[in-house]
């Protein structure tokens, strides 16, 4: 009897360690597999290298993507950025779904990313780029009279960037303006010109950069973006009492950085809302939120809130948690067509 009990204990241990695979029960767990063997470009060229993404998982062409049984939206891309978005792909238990000859298309760019490098831009190098406290994009690209200042966000490499809606006319001009903080108190100095320091133009022509010339010089690039809108009077069920006192707004979340560390600055619109365009992502379960700073005394400098990360604007009132991309699109907080 003792031998029988010992044998049963050993078999149970093996059963747990192997995850039932050696007993032919793995298929009963409710999983299936997805494989994209190859794809086709619009001209019929075969593509055998790329990435398949579904439910936050990814695999290469020809590799198995293990998914729980269900219906999925699948994104297929090649190494050149051509893409196919497939909806309603069914994964069945213990079956392998093979997608062959997936038709890829060039991405539909809807936005432009502008990058300001203070070490190289315009032949007017900033002597102490670490002292730059604010940078803005201005020009015909975002307002016919150059009046709108689009807030730029600082990147880890010391450059600054912002994304705006794409323009059809690539002869439109633009420039960058910046403010310094020379004493390190976190408050921008008052420059000689109330419009800030002009960062210079196109050194090849002596004039302003156009979108066309800036693309050639790597300052502007086409991207696919999504627009996030923060309305302080309605967002998250946590209405700001005095929205006119809001001085800064940022978006943070897994949509822009896995650890929520990146802050992308929003620009104030004429209707009192704030908005920013960030690169579009394929995983609609990614979450985000808005943080803001107030200027209650009207001196143009943000107050220091109780939390060093600013005031949290709230989340999705329907769930009590954070908004994700899918629910934000449903509520009109994220716009894909702009």
Distance CA 293, CA 129 (A): 24
**CATH number, position 58:** 2.60.40.1120
Dihedrals phi, psi of 108, to nearest 5 degrees = -90, 95
pLDDT of 322: 95
Tokens representing 154 are: 């600082």
pLDDT tier at 282, thresholds 50, 70, 90: confident
Among 203, 223, 243, which residue terminates a domain? 223
pLDDT by residue (tens digit) across 26-83? Answer: 444 599 999 999 999 999 999 999 999 998 899 999 999 999 999 999 999 999 889 9
Distance CA 36, CA 48 (A): 9
Distance CA 97, CA 115 (A): 42
CA-based nearest residue to 107, from 87, 86, 82, 85: 82
Distance CA 113, CA 141 (A): 12
* SS3 category, 118: coil
What are 153's strand-pairing partners?
A: 161
pLDDT of 95: 94
Residue 98 lies in a domain: yes
Q: Quick check: 228 pLDDT over 50? A: yes
pTM comes to 0.76
CA-based nearest residue to 225, from 174, 175, 287, 166: 166
Least confident segment among 18-22, 29-33, 303-307, 323-327: 18-22
Distance CA 313, CA 229 (A): 12
Among 74, 103, 132, which residue terminates a domain? 103
pLDDT of 29: 59
Same domain, 195 and 275: no
Same domain, 199 and 139: yes
Among 103, 135, 159, which residue terminates a domain? 103
Q: Quick check: 154 pLDDT over 80? A: yes
pLDDT by residue (tens digit) across 107-150? Answer: 889 999 999 999 999 877 788 899 999 999 999 999 999 999 99
Distance CA 83, CA 51 (A): 10
Number of domains in the chain: 3
**CATH number, position 154:** 2.60.40
- What is the longest distance spanned by two Cα atoms in the chain? 95
How wide is the angle at C-alpha 117 spanned by C-alphas 128 and 166, nearest 5°? 145
Residue 24 lies in a domain: no
- Given a contact cutoff of 8 angstroms between Cβ atoms, the answer to whether 122 and 178 are in contact is no
How wide is the angle at C-alpha 129 spanned by C-alphas 124 and 132, nearest 5°? 105
pLDDT of 27: 43
pLDDT of 10: 43
Show the domain range for 191: 111-223
**The dihedral sign for the CA sequence 83, 84, 89, 95:** negative
Same domain, 232 and 330: yes
């Amino acid at each position: 009897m003792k031998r029988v009990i010992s044998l049963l204990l050993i078999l149970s241990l093996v059963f747990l360690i192997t995850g039932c695979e050696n007993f032919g029960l793995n298929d009963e767990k409710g999983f299936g597999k997805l494989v994209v063997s190859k794809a086709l470009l619009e001209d019929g060229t075969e593509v055998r290298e790329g990435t398949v993404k579904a439910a936050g998982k990814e695999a290469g062409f020809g590799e198995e993507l293990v998914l729980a049984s269900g219906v999925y939206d699948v994104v297929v891309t090649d190494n050149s950025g051509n893409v196919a978005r497939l909806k309603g792909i069914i994964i069945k238990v213990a079956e392998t779904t093979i997608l062959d000859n997936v038709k890829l298309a060039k991405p539909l760019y809807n936005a432009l990313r502008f990058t300001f490098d203070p070490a190289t831009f315009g032949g007017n190098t900033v002597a102490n780029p670490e002292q730059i406290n604010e940078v803005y994009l201005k020009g015909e690209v975002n307002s016919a009279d150059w009046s709108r200042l689009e807030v730029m966000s600082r990147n880890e490499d010391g450059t600054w960037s912002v994304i705006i809606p794409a323009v059809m006319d690539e002869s439109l001009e633009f420039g960058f303006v910046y403010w310094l903080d020379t004493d390190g108190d976190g408050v921008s100095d008052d420059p000689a010109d109330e419009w800030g320091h002009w960062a210079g133009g196109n050194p090849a022509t002596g004039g302003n950069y156009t979108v066309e010339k800036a693309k050639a010089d790597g300052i502007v690039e086409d991207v696919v973006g999504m627009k996030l809108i923060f309305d302080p009077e309605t967002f998250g069920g946590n209405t700001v009492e005095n929205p006119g006192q809001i001085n800064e707004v940022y978006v943070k979340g897994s949509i822009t950085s896995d650890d929520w560390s990146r802050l992308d600055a929003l620009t104030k619109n004429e209707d009192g809302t704030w908005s920013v365009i960030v690169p579009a992502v394929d995983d609609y379960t990614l979450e985000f939120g808005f943080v803001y700073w107030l200027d209650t005394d009207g001196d143009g400098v943000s107050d220091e809130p109780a939390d060093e990360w600013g005031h949290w604007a709230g989340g999705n009132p329907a769930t009590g948690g954070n908004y994700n991309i899918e629910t934000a699109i449903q509520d009109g907080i994220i716009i894909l067509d702009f």
